[in-house]
A and B are shown apart, each in its own frame.
Chain A
Amino acid sequence: MSTKASTTASPYAPPAGPSDDARATSLVGRGNKEGNRLFRSWFSELTTAQERGEKAAYVFVMGSMAELLRVFDFHTIFPEVNGLQTAVRHVADDYIAKAEDYGFSTDVCGYVKADIGLQFRGGEHPMGTIPPPALSVYTNACNTYIKWAEIWERLYGVPIFTLDIPGTRRSGGQTWPGSADFANDLRYVRGQIDELIGVCETVSGKRFDIDKLREIMGYANRMSVAWKRLIELNKSTPAVYNAVTDGTVYLGMANGFRGREEGARYFEDLVEELEYKAAHGIGSPFEEKYRLVFVGVPCYPIFRRFGEMFSEWGGTFVGSTYLWFASGGANMGFEYDLDRPLDSLAEGVLVTVRDAMDAMFYSNTLLADMIEPFDIDGVVYHPIKSCRTVSTGLADSRRALMEQTDVATLFIESDHMDKRVVSEAQLKNRIDAFFEGLATRRQHRAAQVVRQGREG
């Protein structure tokens, strides 16, 4: 286990003392264990939902609207999460093949095809049974969300609702309250939320309850505050979690348990654990030599091996754009104003989903701002065939970052679902060369410091 003096002073960390060993045993690793337990319990709930006559809403990670859907007791189903689970568990090929047999091209998003395969298998999933949708609610943060929902509309004849969130119009051009353009966007989002409430009432047969919404938003607020802190905590050296491997567990929890008390409590506990690790210089189970940022979506078909290709060299992902956009912009730490829940929900959804989109389209400026505070040695770009939303701009964004900073970068392509597009040997060659380059850079810098010392 990597242990060094932390560079991040935590106001919450207890002083080191004789009880530390016991405390470390109970705290360190709790987040992952508890995350896995809750995650399984979530899928168990989904498996038996239909028996209990409970309805499911199919949603997505960027703007799930869980806050509103929970008011009507809809289960939130994340086909992206279902999809990645099939890849991690090495069964995605079977699901994808079913969709391709139906007519979907090999060039269509693997998540979509895994889900279509799942629908054709009656919801059968390695972690349980996924109930069919009673409705689908999705934003435009990814255009494929819209095309995907159209497929469910055709398969099941269920209502589908596009919550249209206008994004940032140009780099650095975000608008905020007080601007007429922001007001125009906000009115549109607010109006759609009213319309969505009507759809939910019709589908669920339940009346909208604003106090219940307020309670759910309160849980979302607690999670949001914790998520922001979680991201900041990896400024610590060594990093207190791996933003790709551990981060994926956290993302599953952030989406699946958004607006639930268990979710709020989980993230508060997780922050407690990470604060403790930061205060005591506890990092990952291997020596941290290089601090990296990950840009894109992980390679789930070889998820463990993908992580090892970096960790074997002492590379730790201290940050990831995935933690920004796949959390729906929770990294902003936006807190709803519970005195005006619907207006605040509209504002929150607008600015957080917009932020999630910015994390994909304008990542170069956000990454440049991370280099120094997170002490970054390298940035790893991993565009994937399936997701053009995330991947289209990465080559250009990388060029821009390289002009802005002298940070080392790596650009590797594969897929998050489709093994046919994943070449482990090629990935390894590129990754090995990247780390060799990082080592050389470090030697050159050390030599330069020695030279300057002699000259000075």
Chain B
Amino acid sequence: MTAVTAVTGTRVLEPYESLSLSEVLSRCRDLVEDPDFPTVARWRRDGGKVIGHFEVYFPEEIAHAAGALPFKVRGAPVEARQGESHFGSYLCSILKTSLELVLSNRVELDMFVSHPICDSARNLAAIWGRNVEYPCEILYLPQNANSGHAAAYLRGEYGRLARQIEAVTGHAITDDDLRASLAVFNENRRLLRELYEIKRATPWQLAVDEAYVLMAVGGMIPREEHNALLAWALPKIRERAGVPQDRMRLVFEGGFCEQPPLDLLSTIAKFSYVVDDDLLIGLRWITEDVPIGDDPLADLAVSYLERSSYSPVQHDLRKPKEKMLVERIRNAGAGAAIITAAKMCEPGLDEVVAYVKALDEEGIPYFVSEFEERMTNFDNLQVQLETFIENLLFA
């Protein structure tokens, strides 16, 4: 076991090493669907600090370097009884359920950070700040990714964020702390790339919902523990028996912020292979190792801009989203795409139009749908999807 997978501090997962892979996947599923986030509670019970960060990307390494648990706030399948009253109509669900988690004391945080990813989310720090006692603030990731000044600015912004996190945790972050954290997260990125490589190469060994829970659990446990879990699970996935079936290879697009219900992913997995997706893309935003040099915050800042994926909430002239999607489909050897957007998600809905036009031009079949994290009925969707796929398979 290396330093990047060694779990030395609080362990928040129940021991799983003696269990079967499917039992562990089932546990991960329970954790991902549990609106009480027991791993976060365990961490906090042992005196750990929790930095909650809203979708999409957050430089978790900085929180980690301060000894805190970076917790990915991504809503939950709960009824927003209190959260609803803080918002008007016509808004996506994730805003309301995320606030619900803290107003109902399901999750306790020590700091909350949101980003101006969209018109709704940019209001969140102000809304949370009016309702909780701990610091709530906005991290201004650069929206002009093409400026020659963006990296230097982001280096400064990360420095500012580090000072705020130091104040919350009482831990002065050193460059060595940051370098150690970068190494842990580089290993995590490597393991997640391996997970996705399995999806692409042998998708019959790993369904989209299984891969999802293995990845998503990383947003709520210490990253060393996630690394250890992935290092344990990946060989077992590769050893899984199974034969390729005559199923359509698909790319799922539209899960960059609000997450589709797991049952929706399971429905899709019943009759297709999802060979790539943008689910929780923030956890995989940086696509390569972050170089570890003299100025780790600068290394992290440059990587955000130069070694990164794409999403509807980042504008980068070098990465037109529709071209990136076509590339994702081609690279994954997919024959079609499921293009989705969360209900009331303006950037997602805007992008659907561009995606559809591009796919038409490329002659790539697609299925368009909207979802909501709290939806529970998938019958219609299943029938429509099955029809779509049958049409393709038997065309």
Interface string of B110-153 (1 = CB under 8 A from A): 00000011111011011101110001111110111011111011
Contact of B126 among A102, A112, A171 (CB under 8 A): A171
**Cβ contact within 8 Å between B127 and A396:** yes
Provide the residues of chain A in CB contact with B86, threshold 8 Å. Answer: 395-396, 399
Given contacts A164-B147, A364-B130, contact A108 B123 (CB under 8 A): no
**Cβ contact within 8 Å between A181 and B160:** yes
Given contacts A107-B346, A170-B137, A184-B153, contact A413 B130 (CB under 8 A): no
Interface string of A382-406 (1 = CB under 8 A from B): 0101011101111111011000000
Bound: A43/B89 CA distance, A: 35
Number of interface residues of A (CB under 8 A): 58
User: Nearest 9 A-B pairs (CB), nearest first?
Assistant: A191-B149, A184-B156, A188-B153, A388-B119, A389-B119, A164-B144, A392-B123, A393-B123, A170-B137
- B360, chain A: closest CB distance, angstroms: 10
Q: Does B315 contact A (CB under 8 A)?
A: yes
Interface string of A89-120 (1 = CB under 8 A from B): 00000000000001111011100100000000
Interface string of A189-215 (1 = CB under 8 A from B): 001100100000000000000000000
Bound: A126/B130 CA distance, A: 43
Given contacts A104-B349, A167-B138, contact A140 B116 (CB under 8 A): yes
Bound: A168/B120 CA distance, A: 16
Q: Does A147 contact B (CB under 8 A)?
A: yes
- Which residues from chain A sit less than 8 Å from chain B, CB to CB? 102-105, 107-109, 112, 140, 142-144, 146-147, 150-151, 154, 160-164, 166-171, 173, 180-181, 184-185, 187-188, 191-192, 195, 360-362, 364, 383, 385, 387-389, 391-397, 399-400, 411, 413
Number of interface residues of B (CB under 8 A): 57
**Cβ contact within 8 Å between A191 and B127:** no
Bound: A146/B144 CA distance, A: 10
List 25 contacting pairs A-B, 8 Å CB cutoff, sorted by A. Answer: A102-B353, A103-B352, A150-B354, A151-B350, A164-B144, A164-B150, A166-B153, A167-B138, A181-B156, A188-B147, A188-B150, A361-B123, A361-B126, A383-B88, A385-B90, A387-B119, A388-B346, A389-B123, A392-B95, A392-B127, A393-B127, A395-B85, A397-B130, A399-B85, A399-B86
Bound: A387/B351 CA distance, A: 17
Q: Does B344 contact A (CB under 8 A)?
A: yes
Given contacts A107-B346, A162-B315, contact A167 B140 (CB under 8 A): yes
**Cβ contact within 8 Å between A187 and B152:** yes
Bound: A140/B150 CA distance, A: 14
Provide the residues of chain A in CB contact with B211, threshold 8 Å. Answer: none
Provide the residues of chain A in CB contact with B87, threshold 8 Å. Answer: 392, 395-396
**Cβ contact within 8 Å between B126 and A169:** no
Q: Does B201 contact A (CB under 8 A)?
A: no
**Cβ contact within 8 Å between A166 and B315:** no
Contact of A413 among B88, B117, B139 (CB under 8 A): B88
